[in-house]
Amino acid sequence: MALPHLFTAIAVFGYLLTTVLIFRDSRSQSNSIPLSLSPKLTWLGALLLHCGALAVLLFTATGLNLNFQNAISVVVWFIALMLFFSSWRHPLGSLALAVLPALALALTISLTHLGSRAQIVPGDLGLQWHILSSLLSFSILSLGSAQALLLAYQEKRLRKHHLAGWVRRLPPMQYMEELLFQLIGVGFALLTLSLLSGWFFLEDIFAQHLVHKTVLSIIAWIVFALLLTGRLTRGWRGQTAIRWTLWGYVLLVVAYFGSKLVLEIILHRT
């Protein structure tokens, strides 16, 4: 196994170990789950190893290699990094318990496709900014969708008056909803920048190989715009907010990774 892939594999172990350490700490907490020093250091080590692997795999002499494997790895790293820093300010241990194992699984899946062909993006700064803003928006909205699922689980248990165990350690629902809309708001802003930069820096945003991504991304943008508008004007919350969040996220998943999965992994085309 090449050194970058070894670093990635160790990072997977680091994310899983961080989950175990956070879970250990959560057993002694009655409400929120603050991070102690042990999971913070383990998480930071996994991030640094993951970053080192990406630096080698992603950057080439001719541009960025954004094949299926690397695209997944970049998104995983962005999500892990943002959640890491957010956890220092907010009680997000419960969200980390749900997200980190999923990230480790996604990174493991990326390691099973080491033979993916290179997908080089030329070193044009405008185009790279478009890609960066796209991946950042997708990463933040991924956290938002995870928060929506966590909120749905919390609401279901509260309705049935099952407040024992892990649910008791979650922050209040009002805080959970506020965090959800903060994530959606930031992700929506970056998605807007991504779409605008695509108009400026791509030769033809509706070219045959981009049209599905463009159309689905615009529909997702409309979904999140309506959700935020509904929140401001009608006070949308609860199941309504959760459903709209998940529908918008599914559209982005298909837009960003659907074609890569089909072309690179199933059909073995570039």
Q: What is the pLDDT of residues 99-127, one digit of tens each?
A: 999 999 999 988 876 555 666 666 666 77
Map tokens 């680091």 to a residue. Answer: 14
Q: What is the pLDDT of residues 71-87, one digit of tens each?
A: 889 999 999 999 999 88
Where do the H-state alpha helices sit in the chain? 3-26, 37-58, 68-89, 93-111, 125-159, 173-201, 211-234, 238-253, 259-260
Q: What is the pTM of this model?
A: 0.83
The domain of 139 spans 3-266
pLDDT of residue 59: 81
pLDDT of residue 28: 66
CB atoms within 10 A of CB 60: 13
Q: What is the pLDDT of residues 207-253, one digit of tens each?
A: 545 677 888 899 999 999 999 999 999 988 889 999 999 999 999 99
Three state DSSP letters for 199-212: HHHCCCCCCCCCHH
pLDDT of residue 205: 56
**What is the count of structural domains for the chain?**
1
Question: Diameter of the chain by CA atoms?
Answer: 58
